[in-house]
Chains A and B, each alone.
Chain A
Amino acid sequence: MLYYLPFTTLKRGGLQQRLTFLHYNTAFKKMSSVVANLVEIRDLHFTYGKRAILTGLNMDFPQGKVVAIMGGSGSGKTTVLRLIGGQLRPQKGHVKVQGQVVHKLNTAGLYLLRRKMGMLFQHGALFTDLSVFENVAFPLREHTDLPEELIRNLVLMKLQAVGLRNAAKLKPGEISGGMARRVALARSIALDPELIMYDEPFAGLDPISMGVTANLIRNLNTALGSTTVLVSHDVKESFAIADYVYFLSQGKIVASGTPAEMLVSTDPYVKQFVNAEADGPVPFHYPGKSLADDLGLGVQV
């Protein structure tokens, strides 16, 4: 069961302030009805040096939905997240979050926008010198002036949501990789973000944790009314919680649709990926010379 109380309702005391919050929320929802997509990506090109990672990407992330970006390793999934978060600048095209072009924002504007985002990194990226409790409290301490008691309650509720309330005093080095990921998840939702991005949240988790994490992602999305961008290559879990799926290969979208549509898709790439087949449009081997050439077994004159 998910014990969850949105932070925003707690951060201000008193009825008047609660009403202010509700007014703000209503205004936001009105705005949302105008901006249907929280995130829009148009004609996005990105290269590392001379290597093209993304070429002419177009994506929409509607408000309140869980959108999965799937694809093999090196297909550019994480790069998309970093471009949405403004950690990378595109060479061409743009990413819009809440109608703002991310790469055109100045530092102050970008940091203001990031306060509305939460991101779960692939390996958790917990601060190793801080305890589990302090990791989750970090964004609250940095961005609010809440009293210590309220911070404690909020942190414990976030940790309860990920099943790690009793691990609050441990250091990141004392917990498993899967637990670290769940702590990072609690930290990423500490400020009740409007956009939550997950980078491979299921990688390396045991089956129980995987199912719990998948449900948690879906439930948080519903409880917070946030928009979720889920980068993963775990088909079963992603399809179970996503409203829409993009398949990415070599920096391009090769297929997109609802999970149900993807399951019956005849697209060779989708079929290969969903059914985990070795043969298909995605080569297993890195392109280059053949094994026979390397072993000197090619045609001899």
Chain B
Amino acid sequence: MSVKNWLSKLGAPLRDYIESIGFGARTFGAMLGLSPGLLKRPRLLVEQLHFIGNYSMLIITLSGLFVGMVLGLQGYYTLNKYGAEQSLGLLVALGLTRELGPVITALLFAGRAGTSLTAEIGLMKAGEQLSAMEMMAVNPIQRVLAPRFWAGVIAVPLLASVFSAVGVLGGWLVGVQLIGVDDGAFWSQMQAGVDIWKDIYNGFAKSVVFGIAITFIALYQGYEAQPTPEDVARATTRTVVISSLMIWWLDFMMTALMFSK
């Protein structure tokens, strides 16, 4: 193999990768630029909010309840060793609002709604629906991608809030109702220890960032997929893998920024 061929083989994937990043950035920019059009047609956004937000409620609520219950159990066993079981409410609330609420909601959302978005866009592409839209002088980025993107950005923090709220109830059920931790101590410690800005707001901000990342990854994977069943399937898998890794990485970075002294 000549040196030129060898260099070409080495450079081609790198060039493809850079091209893919460039295309992604351009798509993201175009989507943001075309988003004000949604103000004229809020119905498109509401439909998507219902589809990707409302339909994710059941899995988020049940997961939140069980995570809260497990947190209540595990927290009680640990705190009991130090005689600090009265702080169970604080532990559950902080754990959920700061970390578990935003992160688990984001992971569940990537699996439940992200995959569905990727498959939907990919199949629309495979069925030439996006091409047909373009030929009807309708920009698919504006008509299809933008409403789904903003619906995801709005839905994830709301779902994360529901997750955390139901999780706290789950912790209360196990800690107070099942094990017998003092009801007053459970709530008062929580009220005294949870800071609305540092804990709740930061957790909310995390979930907004996760919402942006997951929804865009899901839409972009579908939009960039080759119009074949195999590639749509691969794109769906990529959505889950990339979103999950992105969530962990972003979570670490934001936690380091938000909670460092």
Instruction: Please indicate whether A and B come from the same complex rather than being unrelated chains.
Output: yes
Residues in chain A within 8 A of chain B (CB atoms): 85, 87, 107, 111-112, 114-115, 117-119, 121-123, 125-128, 138-139, 142-143, 184, 187
Question: A126 contacts which chain B residues (CB < 8 A)?
Answer: 129
A125-B127, A125-B129 as given contacts; A85 in contact with B138, CB under 8 Å: no
**Could you tell me if A119 and B132 are in contact, using CB atoms closer than 8 angstroms?**
yes
Question: B127 contacts which chain A residues (CB < 8 A)?
Answer: 123, 125, 128
From A87, A112, A114, A122, B136 is in contact (CB under 8 Å) with A114
Question: A117 contacts which chain B residues (CB < 8 A)?
Answer: 135
Question: A119 contacts which chain B residues (CB < 8 A)?
Answer: 132, 135
- Chain B residues numbered 78-129 whose CB sits less than 8 Å from any CB in chain A: 127-129
Main SS at interface, chain A: mixed
Provide the bound-state CA to CA distance between A112 and B131, in Å. 16
From B128, B134, B143, A114 is in contact (CB under 8 Å) with B134
Provide the bound-state CA to CA distance between A187 and B138, in Å. 14
Question: B129 contacts which chain A residues (CB < 8 A)?
Answer: 125-128
Closest chain-A Cβ to B83's Cβ sits at a distance in Å of 58
A123-B128, A125-B129 as given contacts; A142 in contact with B138, CB under 8 Å: yes
**Could you tell me if A111 and B139 are in contact, using CB atoms closer than 8 angstroms?**
yes
**Could you tell me if A114 and B132 are in contact, using CB atoms closer than 8 angstroms?**
no
Q: Does B137 contact A (CB under 8 A)?
A: yes
Closest chain-A Cβ to B124's Cβ sits at a distance in Å of 8
Question: B128 contacts which chain A residues (CB < 8 A)?
Answer: 121-123, 125
Closest chain-A Cβ to B147's Cβ sits at a distance in Å of 13
Residues in chain B within 8 A of chain A (CB atoms): 127-129, 131-132, 134-139, 143
Question: B139 contacts which chain A residues (CB < 8 A)?
Answer: 107, 111
New A-B contacts (19) at CB < 8 Å, excluding given A85-B134, A122-B128, A184-B132: A85-B135, A87-B131, A87-B134, A107-B139, A111-B137, A111-B139, A114-B134, A114-B136, A114-B137, A115-B137, A119-B132, A119-B135, A121-B128, A121-B132, A123-B128, A126-B129, A127-B129, A142-B137, A143-B137
Shortest 9 CB-CB contacts between residues of A and residues of B:
A125-B132, A125-B128, A114-B137, A111-B137, A119-B135, A115-B137, A139-B136, A121-B128, A142-B138
Closest chain-A Cβ to B132's Cβ sits at a distance in Å of 4
**Could you tell me if B136 and A142 are in contact, using CB atoms closer than 8 angstroms?**
yes
Question: A85 contacts which chain B residues (CB < 8 A)?
Answer: 134-135
**Could you tell me if B136 and A138 are in contact, using CB atoms closer than 8 angstroms?**
yes
Considering the complex, give the chain A residue whose CB is closest to the CB of B127: A125
**Could you tell me if B137 and A125 are in contact, using CB atoms closer than 8 angstroms?**
no
Provide the bound-state CA to CA distance between A33 and B135, in Å. 26
Question: A142 contacts which chain B residues (CB < 8 A)?
Answer: 136-138, 143
Considering the complex, give the chain B residue whose CB is closest to the CB of A119: B135
Closest chain-A Cβ to B28's Cβ sits at a distance in Å of 16
Provide the bound-state CA to CA distance between A119 and B143, in Å. 19
Provide the bound-state CA to CA distance between A235 and B138, in Å. 34
Provide the bound-state CA to CA distance between A138 and B127, in Å. 17
Question: A111 contacts which chain B residues (CB < 8 A)?
Answer: 137, 139
Provide the bound-state CA to CA distance between A107 and B26, in Å. 14
Question: B135 contacts which chain A residues (CB < 8 A)?
Answer: 85, 87, 114, 117-119, 121
Closest chain-B Cβ to A264's Cβ sits at a distance in Å of 36
A123-B127, A125-B127, A128-B127 as given contacts; A112 in contact with B132, CB under 8 Å: no
Q: Can you spell out 20 A-B residue pairs with CB atoms less than 8 angstroms apart?
A: A85-B134, A87-B134, A111-B137, A112-B137, A114-B136, A117-B135, A118-B135, A121-B128, A121-B131, A121-B132, A121-B135, A123-B127, A125-B127, A125-B128, A125-B131, A125-B132, A127-B132, A142-B137, A142-B138, A143-B137
- With most chain B CB atoms within 10 A of its CB, the pick from A123, A125, A128 is A125
Question: B137 contacts which chain A residues (CB < 8 A)?
Answer: 111-112, 114-115, 142-143
Question: A118 contacts which chain B residues (CB < 8 A)?
Answer: 135
Question: A123 contacts which chain B residues (CB < 8 A)?
Answer: 127-128
Question: A122 contacts which chain B residues (CB < 8 A)?
Answer: 128
Closest chain-B Cβ to A169's Cβ sits at a distance in Å of 19
Closest chain-B Cβ to A139's Cβ sits at a distance in Å of 5
Closest chain-B Cβ to A141's Cβ sits at a distance in Å of 9
Provide the bound-state CA to CA distance between A85 and B143, in Å. 19
Provide the bound-state CA to CA distance between A222 and B139, in Å. 30
Considering the complex, give the chain A residue whose CB is closest to the CB of B51: A129
Closest chain-A Cβ to B232's Cβ sits at a distance in Å of 14
Provide the bound-state CA to CA distance between A112 and B137, in Å. 7
Considering the complex, give the chain A residue whose CB is closest to the CB of B30: A107
Closest chain-A Cβ to B157's Cβ sits at a distance in Å of 26
Closest chain-A Cβ to B140's Cβ sits at a distance in Å of 11
Question: A114 contacts which chain B residues (CB < 8 A)?
Answer: 134-137
Question: A125 contacts which chain B residues (CB < 8 A)?
Answer: 127-129, 131-132
